[in-house]
Amino acid sequence: MLNSTEILSNWASKFKYEDLSGTDVNYTRRLIIDYFAASFAGLKINKKFNDAIESIIIDCRFDGKSNVFGTDNCVSAIEAAFLNACYAHGADMDDGHKRAMGHVGAHVISSVFALAQTVNVTEKQVMEAIVVGYEIYCRVSAAAQPGLVHRGFHSTGTAGAIACAAACAKLLGLSQEEIYNAMAISVTQASGLIIVAESGQAIKPINPANAARAGIISALLSQKGVQGAINPLESKKGWFHAMTNEVDEEAITKDLGEKFAVSECYFKPYPSCRHTHCGIEAAIEIHNQIRDENIKKVNVYIYENAIRIAGQILIPQTDDDTKFSIHYSVAYSLLKGSFGISSINTNVITPEIVSLIEKIELIPTPEMENKDKGIRGSKLEVITDKNTYTKTIYIPKGDPEVPFTLDDLRIKLSDCASGYINIEEQSELINKVMSFGKDTPFSYTDIIEVFR
């Protein structure tokens, strides 16, 4: 098997900021803004879980250098990375990568920012580490898919640990051998099951949180000379063998160092599983066409993996369920013409929504998914007492093919951060991040001072 660990760690050790195009740099900056927006949303939506995990970590100690998002508390880098990743993934509005089939920024940015507060590094070095984390995650996870998710694993946690280890090792200025070793140490900590998309969704943020924590621990252990396993990814007893039955080696090597995964990631306009987004978009468009008509039937033509992950919950019983229900998100969007933070609440599920949910049928449709063409779509067919409406969305808003503009990010941040920071403060945050990456000392507190 291809020596993936050697190839990726060698690239990571040689990669430098100057290798990025201006487009890649700005895309990375937007991912950081998106990370903050998703974190605000996570603070709002996943409150019960947040309170519980904070009581375990924050209440125990206040003697670190790394900031806990949305508070004045400082804890150790390991603890801050864990908590901040929980917030970033709490509303399921964080970025992701289609072929990797998981999320990236929640664990990579959380681990890098937390560790960066404990060492003397520049903004440029922080950007390098973030890009390395994104690259390693997207390539390793994509190489293991779809076998990884079919076995019940969640790549956000399992591949995320490896990515965070490489990112943090890069941040610390470690050698190629030490980056390799950090990745090797991380594989034995890699964890996360996708069952949390079906029930117990409130704990889903633990997966990226564990990845962020494992990444920092692995990099620091490698820095101190602790040795991990040889061939940790590709060995017959290694990570790939445990996670999947088939490895796409091309995903590891194709265009490595020439095209960057940061610019392939998607942004999420809606606080729900990405598999629901094409259905939401189509439903909103049809909502704007229907006039004084009674809906008789709704057919949703969609790919099987979407049904497997987000098609099992019909009528949400908890707020968490609302994020993983194609039935609910389509029904709500058809009736309301929108889907936002306020939609993630069982209190808004009216008898009218329940009645419409019962008229929705999900129909497995293979042509709605094509990895080579970037398609993960939905076709909605809404049959009323007067007309039949159809709308097909092949690629959801926020994918590189249907770009999320800076104005889109402003709208998202406004929705997510309302109640925490005002419009002027939101603009200040965006301006700071969009100039981030200079060869000057990194200061996380300078970035977040608008909402501390």
Q: How far is CA 360 from CA 2, 300, 301, 311, 395, in A?
A: 46, 7, 11, 11, 21
Please report the pLDDT score of residue 199 as a whole number.
85
- Output the CA torsion sign for 153, 156, 161, 167: positive
pLDDT, residue 325, reads 96
Cβ count near 89 (within 10 Å):
29
User: Which pLDDT score is estimated for 59?
Assistant: 59
CA atoms within 13 A on the CB side of 201: 26
Helices vs strands, H then E, count in the chain: 19, 10
Q: What pLDDT, on a 0 to 100 scale, did the predictor assign at position 105?
A: 98
Burial of 359 (0-12, 13-18, 19+ CB in 10 A): middle
Spatial CA neighbour of 45 closest among 11, 100, 89, 83: 89
What DSSP string describes 102-119? EE-HHHHHHHHHHHHTTS
pLDDT given at position 452 = 64
The two structure tokens encoding residue 190: 């890699």
Q: In the prediction, which pLDDT does 449 show?
A: 82
Q: What pLDDT is attached to residue 46?
A: 84
Residue recorded with tokens 């925490």 = 420
Q: Which CATH superfamily is domain 274-393 in?
A: 2-methylcitrate dehydratase PrpD (3.30.1330.120)
pLDDT of res. 52 = 85
Superfamily of domain 4-269+428-451: 2-methylcitrate dehydratase PrpD (1.10.4100.10)
Q: 30 and 267 in contact (C-beta within 8 Å)?
A: yes
Q: What is the pLDDT, as a whole number, of residue 58?
A: 67
Q: Where in the chain is the domain with CATH 3.30.1330.120?
A: 274-393
For 200, phi then psi, to 5°, come to 70, 35
Q: Where in the chain do CATH 1.10.4100.10 domains reside?
A: 4-269+428-451
The reported pLDDT for the residue numbered 187 is 98
Altogether, the residues listed in the chain come to a count of: 452
Q: How, if at all, do strands 102-103 and 66-67 pair?
A: unpaired
Segment 183-233, tens digit of pLDDT:
999 999 999 999 998 888 899 999 999 999 999 999 999 999 999 999 999
pLDDT (0 to 100) of residue 435? 96
Neighbouring C-beta atoms of residue 187, cutoff 10 Å: 26
Closest CA to 447 of 64, 92, 35, 20: 35
What pLDDT, in 10s, does the model give residues 398-418?
A: 999 999 999 999 999 999 999
- Residues 409 and 414: their CA atoms lie apart, in Å, by 8
* Strand pairing category for 74-75 and 375-376: unpaired
CA angle 125, 131, 135 (to 5 degrees): 145
Ranges in the chain, pLDDT < 50: none
Q: Cβ–Cβ contacts within 10 Å for residue 126, how many?
A: 24
The H or E element containing residue 222 is helix 206-223
Q: At 282, phi and psi to the nearest 5?
A: -65, -40
